[in-house]
Structure 1
Amino acid sequence: MELKHLAIRELVKENEDAPARITDRGGIIPTTEPIANQLFDTLNAAFSRRSSLTHGSFNNENEEGYPFISAFESFVSSDWNEESFTTLTDKSMTQLAAAINNPSAHTAHGGYVLFALYASDRYEYLLIALVRDKASIGFDNDLHPTEVMEVNLDQLHQGARINISTFKKKQDSYLSFIGSKEKGEITHYFSNAFGCTDVTPSRKSTGELIRAARDFCNQNNMTDRKEEVVEDVVSYLERQRTEKESANLHDIENLFDAYIPPEQAETAAGTFGSFANKGPYNVSQEFQPHTSTINRFAKLKVKSDNWSLDFTKRNLGDLNAGKDIEFDEDNGRIIINRLPSKVVNQLREALEQEES
């Protein structure tokens, strides 16, 4: 990874009733300093470890309401020098102060805001994170224990990362931001300040979840049960949709753990959520199942000139598979087993009408 620019700023909010203010402390940190790269490595690792990232894009329908979006677009089209990076951090801090001063976020606290522009593999990123200090124990010159304050880089309170390369190509899901299990606007002030309000479309998260499920099975010695696993994932999505509930990667991870072979448990158990949450799938930690996408995986509709069949895929199998619908490819037939008595009566009545 190549760290191109690094800046640290401070946002102070003494108590719930006090307004947030931007201090004069901080600014650009030379990337030639070894400590700068060490700080960035720790920060980036902390962000990458998060398994509850939400993915999405800017709210382009309301750019006026999110000035950071236009500031970021101006920066992307600039030379990316120290001056343009400073301008971006200044505007970012102004937006963050405005967001934290919103009445709905009055219980939120300030902290140190870190801005890192870096390149990794074929992509370029902007990472913005909020960290705070923590009390620790140190020694003075006489080796007397004393309390010292240090920055807790391992604990990110808020964070957002923009894949600049993907953004420039106008692709989906170039934003990743730290989600929260808590309810309320306070948990969203950081992402809202940067226009991270338009989460990945449910259609994309639903489809990518299925793709991630298949790839995870292929990579973890579960190929023979892949279709069974996918069927369970689709069934879970159908239940959540029917009950008007969100799908959650934690629930699906538990579903996967029941299928993982014992010899794979130590390395694979409890990892599907992180696997699907990161690239290339970028499935949001929580999302609304997309109806037509579920149906594409769950149902199959086949038709000829004179007839059509509409059924769930879990009921389809090869000849003699014991499924309700069997496909006899050699003879070009579809066999429907275990017809309900109601259907039998309907078919009989139809034939009797033809004969009369």
Structure 2
Amino acid sequence: MPIRHSIIHLIDKKPDGSPAVLHTSERELFESQARDNLLTDLNESYNAKQGKAWGFFHEESGAYPLSGWLRAYLDNTQDFIGFTWQATEHLQKLMEETNLSVGGHVFIAHYQQGMTDYLVIALLHHSEGMAVSAALNVSPVKHLDLGQLHLAARINISEWRNNPKSRQYISFIKGKNGRRINDYFRDFIGCQEGIDAPSETRTLLKAFSDFVESEDLSEDQAREKTATLVGYASAQAKHGEPISLEELAALIDEEHPTAFYDFIRNKDYGLSPEIPADKRTIKQFQRFTARTEGMSISFESHLLGNKVEFDHAGGTLVIRDLPTQLVEQLKRAGASS
């Protein structure tokens, strides 16, 4: 994960309402294992966060200037340090206006992962801890607490530059710290939501369920393909990468690597070729599937105890909210009998 540039500034803002004080660094972080570990650990913490959102830049304006400053840096009309000064000063201004957030260390890094360039901006905080010195004395120590990462965003620079119509090249933590706090950081980035990750993931899972049923697969085959989907999607979510429908289709059916992808396109589910993976939705997905003479039953695990109830003693299922099409078929069958 080569780091092109990285820097840390400090916005010293107390929760007592006193004005924020900005301390800017005049030099980038020098190359070190500690710097590399910081970015690696930050990305791991960021990828593990629930409740992220995906979107794209607002049109550049006085209210949303970051995209213009970033473009100037990438076009070499502004250096990296100057760009980060502008960004951090703007963040400080928004902090003052909201008067809702305490300050912290602003970490900004431009790095490459594979063939893709990213920019990450995160507000980091410290936690108190204890350390034992070489003289075996105990002393208090502060350390960066990446587990308490609440305000951060990651911009896929390559996607933004090469596919300007994309609506998902920015991700940011929506978090649980209050809507106004999250809104001010989203406004700092200049981002508007473009993709609803849980909804997109649910649509993908619905398409997969329809595909499995259309293929008339055995129980073992359906279970194997479900495990493949969940494994791939979970791995993508863990690494902060989107689900590629073409990659997924090739994994699901090696003999017919485009079958699932063609099914999605032909049925017009409205999915983009790549969608963000929502970890929580994926985790809930598991199919109970069984087939017996004249009957096939298949449903997702999250429906159990809700629309589907299982009676352990009697070995029976109670299904509520039947599909309208099935209800109509049963009514017609009852009327004709």
Query: Which interval holds the TM-score relative to the shorter structure?
Result: 0.5 to 0.7
* Aligned partner letter, 1:107: L
Give 1:29's aligned amino acid. Answer: L
How far apart are the structure 2 equivalents of 1:226 and 1:155? 45
1:130: how far off? 1.0
Q: Aligned partners of 2:200, 2:103: CA distance in 1, in Å?
A: 38
How far off is 1:208 after superposition?
A: 5.1
In the alignment, residue 91 of structure 1 is paired with which amino acid? Q
Tell me, which stretches of 5 or more residues in structure 2 are unaligned?
217-221, 244-274, 281-321
1:133 corresponds to which residue?
126
Distance (Å, rounded) in 1 between the aligned partners of 2:138 and 2:117: 44
* Secondary structure at the counterpart of residue 115 of structure 1: strand
CA–CA separation in structure 1 for the residues paired with 2:184 and 2:68: 18
| 1:90 shift after superposition | 0.6
Partner of 1:299: none
Deviation at 1:163, TM superposition (A): 0.3
Give yes or no for the alignment of 1:162 onto 2:125.
Answer: no
Larger radius of gyration: 1
Q: Does residue 1:121 correspond to 2:114, yes or no?
A: yes
Which residue in the other structure is 1:77 paired with?
75
Answer yes or no: is the 8 Å Cα contact 2:237–2:278 preserved in 1.
no
**DSSP-derived class of the 2:80 partner:** helix
User: How much is the aligned-residue C-alpha RMSD, in angstroms?
Assistant: 4.0
Amino acid corresponding to residue 187 of structure 1 in structure 2: N
Encode CA deviations 1:198-220: one digit per residue, 9 max, x unaligned. Answer: 10155x874553125545x79xx
User: Aligned equivalents of 2:241 and 2:215: distance in 1?
Assistant: 21
Counterpart in 1 of 2:276? 282
SS in 2 for 1:65: coil
SS in 1 for 2:117: strand
Displacement after TM superposition at 1:278 (Å): 5.1
Counterpart CA distance in 1 for 2:158 and 2:43 is 18
Cα contact 1:54–1:285 (8 A) shared by 2: no
**1:273–1:209 CA distance, 2 compared to 1 (3 A):** farther
Alpha-carbon distance in 2 for matches of 1:72, 1:45: 24
Deviations 1:13-46 (A, max 9, x none): 023311222114564112x322221221111111
Identity level (%): 19
User: Are the structure 2 counterparts of residues 195 and 114 from structure 1 closer, same or farther at C-alpha, using a change threshold of 3 Å?
Assistant: same
More displaced, 70-79 or 128-137? 70-79
Mapped to 2, the partners of 1:95 and 1:6 lie a distance apart of: 18
Taking the aligned partners of 1:151 and 1:26, their CA distance within structure 2 comes to 21
Report the Cα distance in structure 1 between the residues aligned to 2:119 and 2:200, rounded to whole angstroms: 27
Contact 1:8 1:27 in 2 (8 A): no
Could you tell me which of 194, 216, 239 is aligned with 1:200? Answer: 194
Letter in 1 for 2:147: D
Q: Is the 8 A contact 2:26 2:81 kept in 1?
A: no
Please say if residues 175 and 182 of structure 2, whose CA atoms lie closer than 8 Å, have aligned partners that are also in contact. Answer: yes
**Using a 3 Å threshold, how does the CA distance of structure 1 residues 20 and 285 change in structure 2: closer, same or farther?**
farther
SS at 2:146 equivalent? coil
Q: Does 1:95 align with 2:100?
A: no
- Give 1:285 shift: 9.0
Paired amino acid for 1:14: K
TM-score by length of 1: 0.60
For 1:35 and 1:20, how far apart are their aligned partners in 2? 28
**What TM-score, normalized to structure 2?**
0.63
C-alpha separation in 2, matches of 1:272 and 1:84: 36
Q: Name the structure 2 match of 1:244.
A: none
Q: How does 1:188-227 map to 2 (within 5 A)?
A: 188-196=183-191, 198-201=192-195, 206-207=199-200, 209-212=202-205, 214=207, 223=212
Structure 1 CA distance, aligned partners of 2:122 and 2:200?
Answer: 30
1:169-204 deviation line (CA, Å, top 9, x unaligned): 2122100001123433123222211112x10155x8
User: Equivalent residue for 1:246?
Assistant: none
Amino acid paired to 2:242 = G
Task: After TM superposition, list the pairs within 5 Å mapping 1:322-337 onto structure 2.
Answer: 323=326
Q: Show the counterpart of 1:241.
A: none
Alpha-carbon distance in structure 1 between the residues aligned to 2:11 and 2:333: 68
Corresponding residue of 2:40:
41
Aligned length in residues = 253
CA deviations on 1:245-273 (whole Å, 9 max, x unpaired) are: xxxxxxxxxxxxxx999x97xx97xx699
Distance in 2 (alpha carbons) for counterparts of 1:84 and 1:186: 29
SS at match of 1:28: coil
CA distance 1:212–1:174, shift in 2 (3 Å): farther
Partner of 1:7: 7
1:68 alignment partner in structure 2: 66
- Asked if the contact 1:8–1:26 (Cα under 8 Å) also holds between the matched residues in 2, the reply is no
| Distance change (3 Å), C-alpha of 1:117 and 1:207 | same
Matched residues in 1 for 2:327 and 2:62: separation? 56
